[in-house]
């Protein structure tokens, strides 16, 4: 598989989830696990450009895929447009859910379509944020559509 542009190959335990593989084996600890039940979206990453719940997928299922985690989206001093918008709007407080939101938002923006704020609220509802009440997140994603 390819993770953030780097090729990786090797054996993984059959029962290892993708999020545990990323965190424990590759030490990409920016992916956070919020519920292990596929309900909160904190662990969302991009798999072949689509938003993927890394807690619901086994590492072996990612065989041959191209994965992008938060570590592959930008770095301090060289933020992506979306990250910069999240920063400007203060679209996070504790920051635990943020990597997942960035992945879901990247998928939405990847469609190239423009959505209303109302539509974005619906589309972002697969991710839970307990701190912000969502408004700044919606604003940040809306702004990036321009």
Partner 1 sequence: MLGAPVQRAEDPALITGTATFTEDLTPAGTLYLAILRSPLPHARINSIDTTLAMSSPGVWAVYTGADVADFVIPPAPNPKRNIPRRFALAQDRVLMPGDPVAAVVADSLAEAIDALEQIDVDYQPLDILGDLDEALVAPPLHEGQESNVAYDRAKGDWEAISAMDGVVVEGVVEHPRVAPAPMEGRLAIAQWADGVLTLRITTQAPHLIAEELARCLDLPNSSIRVITGFVGGSFGSKFDLAEEEMLTVFGSRQLGRPVKWVEGRREHLLTVGHGRSMRARYRLVADEEGRIKAYAADWLVDLGCRHRYLSFNTITPRMGTGTYDIASYAWRLRGVWTNRNPRGIYRGAGRPEATLTIERAMDHLAAELNLDPAEIRRRNFISPDQFPYQSVAGYTYDSGNYGFNLEALLEAAGYAELRKEQAEARAEGRVIGIGIASYVEVCGFEDWGAARVVVAPDGSVTVLVETLDQGQGHRTAFAQIVSARLGIPMNMIRVEQGDTSTSPYGWGTSGSRSLAQTGSATQTAADGVAEKAKRIAAHRLEASPGDIDLANGLATVRGTDVTISWKEIASIAYTGEVPPGDEPGLEEEVRLRSQGHNFPFGAHLAVVEVDPETGSVRLERMVAVDDAGVIVNPMLADGQRHGGLAQGVGQALWEGVRYDESGNLTTATFVDYLLPAATGLPFFELLETETPTATNPLGAKGIGEAGAIGSTPAVVNAVCDALGCQDLQVPLTPEQIWRAIRSNRE
Q: Which residues bind partner 1 (CB under 8 A)?
A: 13, 15-16, 23, 28-32, 34-37, 39-40, 42, 69-71, 73-77, 79, 83, 86-87, 90, 92-99, 102, 117, 120-122, 124-125, 127-138
Residue number, 64 or 77, with CB nearest to partner 1: 77
Residue number, 57 or 120, with CB nearest to partner 1: 120
State the nearest-atom distance from the C-beta of 9 to partner 1, in Å: 22
Residue number, 13 or 110, with CB nearest to partner 1: 13
State the nearest-atom distance from the C-beta of 63 to partner 1, in Å: 20
State the nearest-atom distance from the C-beta of 6 to partner 1, in Å: 16
Residue 81's contacts (CB-CB under 8 Å, 6 or more residues apart) are: 144
Residue number, 110 or 133, with CB nearest to partner 1: 133
3-state secondary structure 19-76: HHHHHHHCCCCCCCCCCCCCCCCCCEEEECCEEEECCCCEHHHHCCCEEECHHHCCEC
State the nearest-atom distance from the C-beta of 130 to partner 1, in Å: 5
Q: CA-CA distances (angstroms) from residue 64 to 47, 55, 80, 110, 118?
A: 10, 18, 26, 21, 36
Residue number, 64 or 109, with CB nearest to partner 1: 109
State the nearest-atom distance from the C-beta of 24 to partner 1, in Å: 8
């Amino acid at each position: 598989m390819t993770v953030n542009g780097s090729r990786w190959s090797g054996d993984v335990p059959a029962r290892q989830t993708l999020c545990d593989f990323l965190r424990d084996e590759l030490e990409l600890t920016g992916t956070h696990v919020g519920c292990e039940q596929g309900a909160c979206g904190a662990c969302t990453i991009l798999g072949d450009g689509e938003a993927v719940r890394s807690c619901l997928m086994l590492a072996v299922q990612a065989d041959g895929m191209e994965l992008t985690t938060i570590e592959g989206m930008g770095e301090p001093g060289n933020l992506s447009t979306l990250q910069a918008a999240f920063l400007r709007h203060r679209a996070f407080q504790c920051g635990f859910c943020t990597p997942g939101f960035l992945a879901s938002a990247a998928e939405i923006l990847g469609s190239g379509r423009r959505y209303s704020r109302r539509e974005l609220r619906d589309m972002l509802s697969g991710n839970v944020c307990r701190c912000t009440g969502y408004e700044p997140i919606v604003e940040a994603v809306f702004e990036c559509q321009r």
